[in-house]
Amino acid sequence: MEQSSSCLIFLLIFCSSLSLVNSQEDSCENQISGLGFNFDTTSLKCFPVWDVQNFILRFTKASTDKWYFVLSYPYGINSWAAIGFSSDGKMVGSSALAVWVARPGVGGTQPYYLGGTSENEVDPNGSKLTFHNRSFKSIGTSRVYLSFVLETSAPEPYLLYAIGPKGSFPSQDNPTLSKHIDKVSTTMDYDKGTTSKSLTLKLKRSHGVLNIAGWSILMIIGAIIARHCKQWDPIWFYLHASIQTIGFVTGIVGILCGLALRKKISGSVTNHKNIGILIFVLGVLQVIALVLRPGKESKIRKYWNWYHRCLGCILIAFAVVNTLYGLHLGGEGSKWFAGYGTAVALLVIIAVILEIRKWMISKRSSPQHQVEHPIIPVPSHIPPLSSGSQSLVCPPWLKFLLAME
């Protein structure tokens, strides 16, 4: 009897533990009706909207002009989180609702109007939307649930999500919102109940990846081949020309994505765009230089080599700087900076190692470092060497001379 009771208690504890784990991790299979929200949550549609940060959105249409929303995110972000509604996918001009939990059960919510990209343009009193019955629930130190009622016939089709820097918590007395460190934009079809990443985000990522691969990575690899692989002539030239051509074409496609993206985003990117135009011009000049390359015996070949190398180095330098600046403007997280920085650093290390090797080979092959064998004069009284059955007698000094030969 006691053994059966022990097994029953263990089973109950085990089931409770599983339930607790599920509630901590959260998924669209979990029911949240027992968390005590201000409205009925049994009919909410559920969508994972930000996989990287594990954001889950639940919503339903309660009436012709009333919508229920519940946003769930990990407590461990240790900062504020926000959901915004935009008509065009842009952060500027949207209305958002932020929530923060400094410690379990202690936090707040605040609507904002995003009038610009700086902190003083984020107005805590200018939201164009009214978020009724807003509240938050924290499940220990695992999940935070933000609930609110939106009174509108049709919510905006673009939903924005963002998180702030670690340890950043607004307050009711000082609701200033620090600049986000990561964000994502999605589109929502409320009638069909489908969600997807917005075209703006796809264009932004395509613009960044193509330009990084074309103007930075491939151009650097092509330059390294031209500098250190000339012993494999003419393979090095065709490889160098092919890689640089692929990089040039990839970079142009990246620029076209950037021009399309410029029409869909707000904010000033003039400097980034101007540097991109300069990089494009330098790339065109390199292509023209390749077409007009003089022959090896030409007197101006030396000056052409100087021009081609210097222009290539300037192009790569501007490409690296503009890439870092573009990642900053795009608000990309540290993972993008770390990934790009690691790739460039690795290529630079390879280039430095090859440069040191080239210098050492050049130093060993220079005339002043070559060993000069002393010339030993042969005395005129060397006796002739006889042949036949008599063995040849070779003086020691002659053996040395023959060895030197």
Give one DSSP letter per residue of 255-279, joined into a string. HHHHHHHHTT--S--HHHHHHHHHH
Alpha-carbon distance of 17 to 25, in angstroms, equals 12
- Structural domain boundaries in the chain: 31-197, 200-350
For the entire predicted model, the pTM comes to 0.55
């935009």: which residue's tokens?
Answer: 86
**In this predicted structure, what is the pLDDT of residue 120?**
82
End-to-end CA distance of the chain: 103
Residue type, 292: L
Which top CATH class is 200-350? mainly alpha
Residue 182 pLDDT: 82
With a pLDDT cut of 70, the percent of the chain lying above it is: 80
Q: Give the CATH H-level superfamily of domain 31-197.
A: Cellobiose dehydrogenase, cytochrome domain (2.60.40.1210)
State the pLDDT at residue 372. 53
Sign of the CA dihedral with 76 first, then 79, 80, and 83 last: negative
Low-confidence ranges of the chain (pLDDT < 70): 1-25, 197-199, 201, 264-267, 331-333, 366-405
Closest by alpha carbon to 149, among 82, 59, 74, 56? 59
pLDDT at residue 387, as a whole number: 47
| pLDDT of res. 332 | 63
